A and B are shown apart, each in its own frame.
Chain A
Amino acid sequence: MSVSPAISQGSAGQPAPRKRRRLSRKLAPWLFLAPGMFMFLIYVLIPIGRSVWISFYQWDGLSPAHWIGLENYAELLDDDAFYTSLKNNVIWLVLYMLAIPLGLFIALFLNQTVRGIRIYKSLFFFPFVISQVVVGLIFSWFYAPGFGLFYKITEWFGGQGVAVLADENLVTYGIIAAGLWPQIAYCMILYLTGLNSVAPDQIEAARLDGAKGIKMLWYVVLPQLRPATFIALVVTIIGALRSFDLVSIMTSGGPYGSSRVLSYYMYEQALSEYGYRMGYGAAIAVVLFAIMMIFISGFIWKMWRDERGL
């Protein structure tokens, strides 16, 4: 009895292998995708959903959460600190883009065969290797009132030193300058690798046609660097939007909150010593997520188009 099902399966299963093959062909991709999808679900989708959910509550992380609907968002609309953060995020986004042309410029400059060029290249790449925390510390000493180099220089020129990190109008630009330092190096490396794959025959042909300087760069070299530009754009936008470490190290959002960005404001409200307004922090996170989503969907749309060869 116990044997018969096996036999019957074998005998009646003349078409079964094909069916099974078809089934397994359908199933296999899902099986291979399953671990990744599982991780994505646990570490990305569910937390996003939870964050949105928490943003409708008033919750200090200890006491029971209390449903308040859209009140957190209503408060955001009336919160000066939120607008300051939003404005700073926009400034970050715009000025961080400078890293791309500057990185390209340095890459073009370094893309030559001179004795010891590798050393120069690695020196230019050096800031990207340093941790953001160290970059932040170096720049806060650079700006420090009293003993900072920058302060001393401005004191020498203008009589009175400029304490960048204590000035509400300058502080964000001061931090962005610190952030640009490693970001330019990053873009430079991307362009250097891109320049390696520029086709020499096209350059040659362009030269025969009399293209030179800017024209050569704009019409011949840059189009070939498009993949590098795309990646540089993506990492720079994401880098600008998630700027947190430099703000935290250099100013803690100060002076009086004027250098906050959304991610730092979210941290302050939800997780810092004086925070623990989980709902409000989550609401800020949702707004930041929505802004990021604009860019992310743009990128996905472009990649999808490229893949389909449009």
Chain B
Amino acid sequence: MKLLKTAAVAALLAGLALPALAQQRTLTLNTDASDPAPKAAFDQLIKGFEAENPDVKVVVNIFDHEGYKTAIRNFLTADSPDLANWYAGNRMAPFVKSGQFLDVSDVWEENGLKDSLAPALSSMTIDGKQWGVPYTYYQWGIYYNKDVYKKVGVEVPKTWDEFISNCKKFKAAGIDCLTTGTKALWPAAGIFDYLDLRTNGYDFHMKLTNGEIPWTDDRVRKVFAEWAKVVPYTTPNTAAIDWQDAVSNIVQGKAANYVMGNFAVATFKDGGMTDDSLGFMDFPEITPGIPRAEEAPTDTIHIPAGAKNVADAKKFLAYIARADVQTKMNQELGQLPINVNSTVGDDPYLQAGFKILSTADGGIAQFFDRDAPAAMAKAGMEGFQEFMAKPERLDAILDRLEKTRQRVYKN
């Protein structure tokens, strides 16, 4: 199946490369924008670029979203495009360290991107250089059912203690305070990230995901102690539930809160929720006084080391970094632009997200599986899943994660 797909893509590439005219330069872009919204956003982006650069023809190869994660390793080494999209943070580290991505610090210098794309500067920087250009991100937070809140008669909490005391009331009403579906592991990481960011702050969280802090550290235990408070009020059996199935718990009013990314709004609305019934709140405060950090996974575009048309690729990066381009593109995507001079659509969730991200003085984390290296992320997320099912095994889980940390960060 995968082989077939690769063969088909290769055939497609060969077919597309032939008709390219001699005087017109081509720029190939590989992307995983296979869903309708991202696809429309890329179509529109490329039309805009070609209108401004009539001598460049952009050839797009669209990959299936999941398959792309494997495909990129093949096409970077075998048949490199001029541009490829990927993710910021530690997710791009393997490609940077093996020399598969080109250093594009000059694009950042020449276009003043260090100011205009400031929110993503740290997540795009490895060894003091920038390796790509970010074009979109989205916030994480707590999505909740306003009707359930009204029915039980509780206020939207500002602090974690309030959140927990609300949980008791939800429980009395037979409603799960927190729901999630961790079959795919990553939804559990969203909860951990926020608990850690709120308990210990951004710098600690980054050190932890960078392997500089042992998992058996007392500050890590404190995070799990906070988590343990909400475990009794969480939907049981999350390990067998897909995140989309957990959405229906919120839609049907069986659960009140869901720690999720903004992409889930579409799923909530498909289930019949509206702006009147679906609420969004920032994750409540745990340790008072620490600078508020947020989580916002960033999507990026890179120039592979094997690119044939580097000059035009850099032009493309400069184009996609522009404020007006990011405004238009993110309206189509339904996400947030990185460029600080861009404007955000009037969607209430995006507006709320923009507000919390632009005022996050603590810093912006990517996501556990993008901040931590792959092997650590996998082991960590399994540990979180196990903790939610068997909180009494915390010691064994932390010992195992510590063992993984010592192996993963060794070299």
Interface residues of A (CB under 8 A from B): 60-63, 75, 80, 140, 143-146, 163-166, 168, 251-252, 254-257, 268, 271, 273-277
**Shortest beta-carbon distance from A192 to chain B in Å:** 32
Residues of chain B within 8 A of A63, CB atoms compared: 94, 97-98
Nearest neighbor of A160 in chain B, beta-carbon distance: B236
In residues 90-131 of chain B, which contact A (Cβ within 8 Å)? Answer: 94-95, 97-98, 100
Instruction: Encode contact with A along B50-84: 1 for CB under 8 Å, 0 otherwise.
Output: 00000000000000000001100100110000000
Are B389 and A255 in contact (CB-based, < 8 A)?
yes
**Shortest beta-carbon distance from B220 to chain A in Å:** 18
**Given A163-B236, A254-B239, A255-B239, A62–B183 Cβ distance below 8 Å?**
no
Number of residue pairs A-B, CB distance < 8 angstroms: 78
Nearest neighbor of B69 in chain A, beta-carbon distance: A273
CA distance A143 to B238 in the complex (A): 13
CA distance A273 to B374 in the complex (A): 8
Sorted nearest first, the 5 A-B pairs with minimum C-beta distance are A255-B239, A274-B378, A163-B237, A166-B240, A256-B386
> B195 within 8 Å of A by Cβ?
no
Are A145 and B100 in contact (CB-based, < 8 A)?
no
Are B94 and A60 in contact (CB-based, < 8 A)?
yes
**Given A62-B73, A271-B70, A276–B374 Cβ distance below 8 Å?**
yes
CA distance A252 to B239 in the complex (A): 10
Residues of chain B within 8 A of A143, CB atoms compared: 240
CA distance A164 to B97 in the complex (A): 42
**Shortest beta-carbon distance from B53 to chain A in Å:** 32
Residues of chain A within 8 A of B171, CB atoms compared: none
Instruction: Encode contact with A along B123-148: 1 for CB under 8 Å, 0 otherwise.
Output: 00000000000000000000000000
Residues of chain A within 8 A of B378, CB atoms compared: 268, 274-275
Residues of chain B within 8 A of A166, CB atoms compared: 236-241, 389
**Shortest beta-carbon distance from B156 to chain A in Å:** 27
Are A80 and B239 in contact (CB-based, < 8 A)?
no
CA distance A275 to B407 in the complex (A): 14
> B190 within 8 Å of A by Cβ?
no
**Shortest beta-carbon distance from A175 to chain B in Å:** 12
Residues of chain A within 8 A of B95, CB atoms compared: 62
**Given A62-B77, A165-B240, A274–B375 Cβ distance below 8 Å?**
yes
> B385 within 8 Å of A by Cβ?
yes
Are A61 and B73 in contact (CB-based, < 8 A)?
yes
Are A145 and B383 in contact (CB-based, < 8 A)?
no
**Shortest beta-carbon distance from B128 to chain A in Å:** 21
Residues of chain B within 8 A of A273, CB atoms compared: 69, 374
Instruction: Encode contact with A along B170-191: 1 for CB under 8 Å, 0 otherwise.
Output: 0000000000000111000000
Number of interface residues of B (CB under 8 A): 32
CA distance A146 to B389 in the complex (A): 17
Residues of chain A within 8 A of B238, CB atoms compared: 166
Are B185 and A254 in contact (CB-based, < 8 A)?
yes
Are A252 and B237 in contact (CB-based, < 8 A)?
no
> B219 within 8 Å of A by Cβ?
no
Are B382 and A257 in contact (CB-based, < 8 A)?
yes
Nearest neighbor of B380 in chain A, beta-carbon distance: A274
Of B184, B240, B375, B378, chain A has the most CB atoms within 10 Å of the CB of B240
Of A256, A271, A274, chain B has the most CB atoms within 10 Å of the CB of A256
Q: Which of B98, B185, B239, B389 contacts A62 (CB 8 A)?
A: B98
Are B69 and A255 in contact (CB-based, < 8 A)?
no
Of B98, B377, B382, chain A has the most CB atoms within 10 Å of the CB of B382
> B400 within 8 Å of A by Cβ?
yes
Nearest neighbor of B239 in chain A, beta-carbon distance: A255
Are A254 and B374 in contact (CB-based, < 8 A)?
no
Are A276 and B94 in contact (CB-based, < 8 A)?
yes
Residues of chain A within 8 A of B193, CB atoms compared: none
Nearest neighbor of B381 in chain A, beta-carbon distance: A274
Are B240 and A255 in contact (CB-based, < 8 A)?
yes
**Shortest beta-carbon distance from B252 to chain A in Å:** 10
Nearest neighbor of B76 in chain A, beta-carbon distance: A62
CA distance A276 to B185 in the complex (A): 18
**Shortest beta-carbon distance from B231 to chain A in Å:** 14
> B369 within 8 Å of A by Cβ?
yes
Can you pick out 18 interface pairs between chain A and chain B where the beta carbons lie within 8 Å of each other?
A: A62-B77, A62-B95, A62-B98, A63-B98, A75-B407, A145-B240, A163-B240, A165-B240, A166-B236, A166-B238, A251-B183, A251-B240, A254-B183, A255-B389, A256-B382, A256-B385, A257-B382, A275-B375
Q: Which of B98, B377, B407 contacts A60 (CB 8 A)?
A: B98
Are A275 and B374 in contact (CB-based, < 8 A)?
yes
Are B385 and A80 in contact (CB-based, < 8 A)?
no
Nearest neighbor of A63 in chain B, beta-carbon distance: B98
Are B374 and A255 in contact (CB-based, < 8 A)?
no
CA distance A62 to B185 in the complex (A): 26
Q: Which of A60, A80, A163, A277 contacts B400 (CB 8 A)?
A: A80
Residues of chain A within 8 A of B97, CB atoms compared: 63
Residues of chain A within 8 A of B77, CB atoms compared: 62
CA distance A268 to B386 in the complex (A): 18
Of B70, B97, B183, chain A has the most CB atoms within 10 Å of the CB of B183
Residues of chain B within 8 A of A140, CB atoms compared: 240
Residues of chain B within 8 A of A144, CB atoms compared: 240-241, 245
Q: Which of B70, B375, B385, B400 contacts A254 (CB 8 A)?
A: B385
Are A62 and B184 in contact (CB-based, < 8 A)?
no
CA distance A62 to B375 in the complex (A): 16
CA distance A80 to B69 in the complex (A): 27
Instruction: Encode contact with A along B220-249: 1 for CB under 8 Å, 0 otherwise.
Output: 000000000000000011111100010000
Are B241 and A145 in contact (CB-based, < 8 A)?
yes
Nearest neighbor of B383 in chain A, beta-carbon distance: A256
CA distance A61 to B78 in the complex (A): 12
Residues of chain A within 8 A of B76, CB atoms compared: 62
